[in-house]
């Protein structure tokens, strides 16, 4: 179903943005002409407060050969953290570069999170969906809402830390953020958790292996439904 919705989204985007169509003509021709079966291409949206463990879980899922998902690489204006690589963890852009992508319709969704801009490049998501792979978007609740409006058949998963104290100690333990960034993320955490009620699945990330097991079970269910 998701594939059909992506076709509809792409068709609207064509009309609004001729430049985007021109740059991605090959993909859009395929979208318009192939009768891609509904079981092909699944989109899983994963959100959770900063420090809940989303990136860790998604990284582990990406290494699972059974699932072999395509994990979308977001564009962001946030500064690079130690150990992060441009084009692998994120596409690190200036505000001007980000706004150009946005203006030209190249982002599937975008949002301002913790004072920086983040967005999902549309092209690789479209390509990978067409190839029938599970596509994972690890994005905040504002972006997830935009995807829900455009592609309501995507599967929405919210990852929780066991409690706020654990969330805080994970944020500190990660050792990547300054104190004021940690405070901003904790403030935002309550707002994000309050949004979790509309997600299809809520997972408490207590033991990493159990969390992974739940996500893999979810993925197998999707494959079975689509078969
Ligand atoms: P997020 O992407 O949600 O901001 P991270 O994946 O960066 O969170 O995880 C935050 C910290 O918590 C990291 O140091 C990570 O190693 C740790 N962590 C993640 N999942 C677990 C878990 N199930 N148990 C203990 N620590 C965890
Ligand atoms: P971080 O800076 O810790 O990597 O991510 C901060 C927040 O931004 C997280 O909640 C993460 O899910 C969210 N995020 C990352 N990429 C995107 C994106 O492409 N779109 C949106 N809306 N949020 C994103």
Average pLDDT over residues 130-157: 90
Q: Output the residue whose Cα is nearest ligand 2's atom 23.
A: 139
The whole-number pLDDT of residue 21 equals: 67
The whole-number pLDDT of residue 104 equals: 82
**In the structure, what pLDDT confidence band is assigned to residue 133 with cuts at 50, 70 and 90?**
confident
**pLDDT tens per residue across span 31-49:** 666 555 443 457 899 999 9
Most trustworthy range by pLDDT among 2-11, 57-66, 137-146: 137-146
Q: Output the residue whose Cα is nearest ligand 1's atom 27.
A: 53
The whole-number pLDDT of residue 29 equals: 67
Distance CA 166, CA 174 (A): 12
Query: Scanning the structure block, which residue is given the tokens 């599937």?
Result: 108
pLDDT at 63 over 60: yes
**pLDDT tens per residue across span 190-205:** 999 999 999 999 999 9
More confident residue, 7 or 208: 208
- Residues above pLDDT 70, as percent of the chain: 82
Strand blocks (E) in 28-128:
42-47, 70-71, 75-76, 91-92, 107-113, 116-121
Gap from CA of 63 to ligand 2 centroid (Å): 20
Distance CA 70, CA 55 (A): 14
Q: Which protein residues are within 6 Å of ligand 2, measured from CB?
A: 50, 74, 78, 109, 111, 113-114, 118-120, 138-140, 142-143
Q: Output the residue whose Cα is nearest ligand 2's atom 11.
A: 139
**pLDDT tens per residue across span 155-187:** 999 999 999 999 999 999 988 888 998 999 999
Ligand nearest to the CA of 172: 1
pLDDT at 85 over 80: yes
The whole-number pLDDT of residue 39 equals: 38
The finding on whether 50 has its CB within 6 A of some atom of ligand 1 is yes
Q: Which helix (H) or strand (E) holds 202?
A: strand 201-204
More confident residue, 163 or 25: 163
Which of 201, 168, 158 is CA-nearest to residue 57? 158
CA-atom Rg of the chain in angstroms: 17
User: Cβ(120)–Cβ(108) under 8 Å?
Assistant: yes
The whole-number pLDDT of residue 38 equals: 44
Query: Scanning the structure block, which residue is given the tokens 């891609």?
Result: 36
Lowest-pLDDT choice from 85-89, 111-115, 131-135, 220-224? 220-224
Tell me the C-alpha to C-alpha distance, in Å, between residue 147 and each of 107, 122, 126, 129: 11, 11, 13, 14
Q: Which of helix, strand or coil describes residue 147?
A: helix
DSSP secondary structure string for all residues of 173-191: HHT-S-HHHHHHHHHHHHH
Go through the domains of the chain in sequence order and give each one's CATH number: 2-225 (3.40.50.300)
Question: Ligand 2 test: best mutation among 74, 86, 107, 161, most atoms within 8 Å of CB?
Answer: 74
More confident residue, 171 or 129: 171
Distance CA 19, CA 57 (A): 36
């Amino acid at each position: 179903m998701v594939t059909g919705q992506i076709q509809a989204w792409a068709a609207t985007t064509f009309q609004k943005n001729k430049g985007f169509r021109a740059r991605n003509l090959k993909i859009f021709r395929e979208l318009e002409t192939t009768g891609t079966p509904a079981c092909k291409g699944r989109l899983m949206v994963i959100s959770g407060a900063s420090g809940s463990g989303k990136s860790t879980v998604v990284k582990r899922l990406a290494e699972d050969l059974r699932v072999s998902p395509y994990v979308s690489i977001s564009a962001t204006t946030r500064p690079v953290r130690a150990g992060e690589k441009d084009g692998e963890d994120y596409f690190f852009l200036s505000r001007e570069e980000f706004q150009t992508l946005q203006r030209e319709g190249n982002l599937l969704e975008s949002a301002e999170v913790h004072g920086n801009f983040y967005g999902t490049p549309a092209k690789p998501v479209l390509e990978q969906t067409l190839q029938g792979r599970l596509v994972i978007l690890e994005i905040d609740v504002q972006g997830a809402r935009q995807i829900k409006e455009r592609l309501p058949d995507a599967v929405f998963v919210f990852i929780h830390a066991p409690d706020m104290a654990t969330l805080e100690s994970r944020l500190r333990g990660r050792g990547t953020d300054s104190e004021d960034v940690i405070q901003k993320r904790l403030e935002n955490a309550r707002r994000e958790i309050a949004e979790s009620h509309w997600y299809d699945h809520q997972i408490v990330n207590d033991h990493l292996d159990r969390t992974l097991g739940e996500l893999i079970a979810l993925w197998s269910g999707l494959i079975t439904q689509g078969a």
